[in-house]
Structure 1
Amino acid sequence: MQIPGHPRVEIVVPVKNEENDLGPNIRRLREFLDTAFPFPAEVCIADNGSTDATYEIGMLLASELPGVRIVRLEQSGRGRALKQVWSASTAEVLAYMDVDLSTNLNALLPLVAPLLAGHSDVAIGTRLAKGSRVVRRPKREFISRSYNLLLRATLSAHFSDAQCGFKAIRADVARELLPLVQDTSWFFDTELLVLAEKAGLRIHEVPVDWVDDLDSRVAIAKTVGEDLRGIVRLTRDLGRGRIDLEPIRQVYGRPRILDPRTAMAARVLRFGAIGVLSTAAYALLYLVLRQGMPAQVANLLALLITAVGNTTLNRRITFGVRGVEGRWRHQLRGLVTFGIGWSLTAASLWLLHTAVAAPHQAVEITVLTVANLAATVVRFSLFQAWVFDDDAPTIPAFEPPTVLENTRSN
């Protein structure tokens, strides 16, 4: 039974050529909302480019069922449909779900309740968290997990499931974020979540029960290609400072850490994590290069390649420097620190070969790894005091927030 006066929820169901599933599943959704959902809710069928009887069936449903309406878009694209309907909605919380209702509807209240209470800004259903119960084909399971790992590696995403068709967002937050989202298709979800996370918004995750739709219309190869292009574009735009999230961060984002000691500790941890990654990459490169060249040459090339990557990652992640301004200056300064690191490892390698005529490669790797870790301490000191000193903020822009209250002015 619906309780009058509570915040209103609008659930968008994007569809394209779904004449078989649309009728029974919209009736099932509407019945659930009328009998088991405590807030007044509307359902909007967003038909994007159907060429079968989907739109006509949607019109009949809208005329038959109170609280159901339909919007017709001539162009296809799930993201396009969601962006148009959400932008025009008067509801306080905006949600969407796939027409196949693969996600158990009992997860709807846990999804929207934190948004209605003002505790969270965005909410997602996740099939990859502890507590989820999922039935789907191994191929799709592998693709989903691989995709989310890729997002972690390329965009530093922390949410667990980007593509589950079960999400919600507060309308005031959506009005700020939607104009920044460029994708109109399947990457829309990912782009929205990444921007929300980068703006410091609170993303609530709900483990869901989910059953794979065997009649899914998703073209996997095409979707994967579009997603990869979207990741490249979004990574480039964020790296070059083309997306201004600061206004959203100022109003909705959680405050950054103000304690310099805590900020420094977090900066050291991030630098250390990048250092471990760089050291592993260096060791692998050295082993590969050593097969066809002398030890000193292999050492120099491996260090040079990883130094460029190390400076790039630390510039963005550890010291929070964004955009292209100063990038080459930072790389040149980073190469100076590389020179110091190279001198330490080269000296260690020279001493080893002086003491042992033909050391085993495992011994070489051990000595070089220890020397490289020692050089890491020197690099951090130089990064902190010189390499990024002219641009880096006092508190890193990527400082993980610890304060739960936000700074909303509304």
Structure 2
Amino acid sequence: MLRRPPVDLEIVVPAFNEESRLPGTLTEVVGYLESRPWSSAIVVVDNDSVDGTLEAVGRFAHSPVKTYAIGCSEHGKGAAVRRGVVTSTARYTGFIDADNATPIASLDQVMALLRQGYPAVIASRRAVGARYEVEQSLVRRGGGWMFRAAAHLLLPDIADTQCGFKFFDGPLVRAVAGNCHIKGFAFDVELLAQIDRAGRRIAEVPVVWTDVPGSTFSARRHGLRSMSDLVRISLSR
């Protein structure tokens, strides 16, 4: 199903070859959501996987929290997130990573801020009070430092643009995401930059973050593309 029935909260999970990590993440997310008072749903956006990702989602067909799978033939995390977001009808919607690196219980604070009227609430590994449970490798930390320095020029008030745990007012993010064009990992920056340019406040919440093995991001394969995408975002002002 492409456009889903409305709920209070819909969580988008972009997935590319995530058959091994996805079941554990979905189990934790479903367990968390079924204990909360909001109506909710999960949508996994399969980014043209060639493994058993869809079969993994299928195991949750009778979950107490409705769990959907939709496809996205355009490659890239940004393309997958955009497809999930723009086809949502939820009051609030956002996305998490398939590796569950940010504890799903962080949504307690996120939802409280959204209900207070914040249009965008994002997890941060660098806000005061945040910490790393398990650090990234030295290579990924080095690449992340360069990307972060460049992204800071576009979003000087945001400490961490890349933590994969971001939630928004539904109508706002659908309108903004529909005008985004970045397909890769710099999509987060483009989305936040458009929200910031519209004069809407972005709140950061500190989280405990764990580096989970198996990331599809490669500094060698994706680093240069991500940096060039930042240039595109800057020029699109």
TM-score, length basis structure 2: 0.90
Write out per-residue CA displacement over residues 230-270 of structure 1, whole angstroms, 9 at most, x where no aligned residue: 111121221xxxxxxxxxxxxxxxxxxxxxxxxxxxxxxxx
Structure 1 residue identity aligned to 2:162: Q
Distance 1:210 1:156, change over 3 A: closer
Q: What is the aligned partner in structure 1 of residue 202 from structure 2?
A: 203
Give the structure 1 partner of residue 76 of structure 2.
77
Tell me how far 1:204 sits from its aligned partner. 0.7
SS at match of 2:42: strand
Summarize the Cα distance change of 1:156–1:188 in structure 2 as closer, same or farther, 3 Å threshold. closer
In the TM superposition, 1:248-397 aligns within 5 A as none
Rounded Cα–Cα distance in structure 2 between residues aligned with 1:225 and 1:187: 11
Q: Is the 8 A contact 2:47 2:73 kept in 1?
A: yes
CA distance in 2, matches of 1:171, 1:221: 34
How far apart, in 1, do the equivalents of 2:174 and 2:102 lie? 26
More helix by share: 1
Q: In the alignment, what sits opposite 2:14?
A: 14
Opposite residue 124 of structure 1, the aligned amino acid is I
Counterparts of 1:100-115 in structure 2, within 5 Å, are 100-115=99-114
Counterpart position of 1:28? 28
Query: Could you tell me which residue of structure 1 aligns to residue 3 of structure 2?
Result: none
How many residues align? The count is: 229
SS at the partner of 1:44?
strand
1:13 partner amino acid: V
Shift of 1:163: 0.8
* 1:123 alignment partner, one of 99, 112, 121: 121
Whether the 8 Å contact between 1:157 and 1:197 is mirrored in structure 2 is no
Unaligned runs of 5+ in 1: 1-6, 239-410
In 1, Cα distance between equivalents of 2:70 and 2:116: 29
Q: Which of 1 and 2 has higher RCO (CA within 8 Å, sep 6+)?
A: 2
Deviation at 1:214, TM superposition (A): 2.1
Paired residue secondary structure (2:236): helix
CA 1:61 to 1:76, structure 2 compared with 1: closer, same or farther past 3 Å?
Answer: farther
Equivalent-residue separation in structure 1 for 2:188 and 2:97 (angstroms): 13
1:222 maps to 221
What residue is the counterpart of 1:151 in the other structure?
151
Match of 1:399 in 2: none
Contact 2:46-2:70 at 8 Å conserved across structures: yes
Which stretch has the larger CA shift, 71-80 or 207-216?
71-80
Q: Is the 8 A contact 1:157 1:194 kept in 2?
A: no
What's 2:182 paired with? 183
C-alpha distance in 2 between matches for 1:38 and 1:144: 37
Cα root mean square deviation, aligned: 1.7
Matched-pair contact (CA < 8 Å) for 1:55–1:72: no
Distance, in Å, in 1 between the alignment partners of 2:51 and 2:208 is: 30
2:148 maps to 1:160: no
Contact 1:93–1:116, Cα closer than 8 Å, also in 2: no
Q: Give the letter for the 1:19 counterpart.
A: E
Query: 1:190-241, CA deviations, whole angstroms, 9 ceiling, x for partnerless residues?
Result: 1001111122111010100001012222112222112111111121221xxx
Take 1:64 and 1:9, find their aligned partners in 2: how far apart are those partners? 16
Where do 5+ consecutive residues of structure 2 fail to align? 1-6
Q: Cα–Cα, structure 1 residues 64 and 176, in superposed 2: closer, same or farther, change >3 Å?
A: closer
Counterpart contact for 1:13–1:97, Cα < 8 Å: yes
Q: How far did residue 184 of structure 1 move?
A: 1.6
Q: Distance in 2 between matches of 1:15 and 1:62?
A: 17
Q: Identity of counterpart residues, as a percentage? A: 28
Is 1:132–2:127 an aligned residue pair? Answer: no
Contact conserved, 2:30 with 2:63, CA < 8 A, in 1?
A: no
Give how far 1:156 is off: 4.7
